[in-house]
């Protein structure tokens, strides 16, 4: 089964920042993110709770909205709730 792509724009709730979140994750064990110049994009992979399949997600922030772009094989909208 091939991976599919899904993009969704969501409202940022509360004080949140991609750059701050990425800086936190960069040193978080057991698999720290590599520090890099791409401060305005947070990328991760996880299992979607709906079916425990792998999803890859990239989040970028644009003021009070965030764009969530995901790649997976099933339940593509379910990962947005997990982000």
Q: Per residue of the chain (83 residues), what is the pLDDT tens digit?
A: 566 788 889 898 888 888 888 877 777 666 666 666 666 788 888 887 777 878 888 899 999 999 988 877 555 566 566 55
For CA atoms 75, 49, 27, 65, the dihedral sign is positive
Task: Give me the residue spans of the domains in the chain.
Answer: 4-82
pTM for this model (two decimals): 0.68
């Amino acid at each position: 089964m091939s991976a599919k792509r899904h993009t969704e724009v969501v409202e940022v709730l509360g004080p949140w920042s991609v750059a701050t979140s990425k800086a936190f994750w960069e040193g978080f064990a057991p698999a720290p993110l590599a520090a890099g110049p791409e401060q305005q994009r947070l990328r991760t992979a996880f299992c979607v709770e709906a079916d425990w399949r792998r999803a890859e997600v990239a989040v970028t922030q644009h003021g009070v909205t965030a764009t969530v772009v995901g790649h997976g094989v099933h339940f593509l909208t379910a990962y947005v709730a997990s982000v």
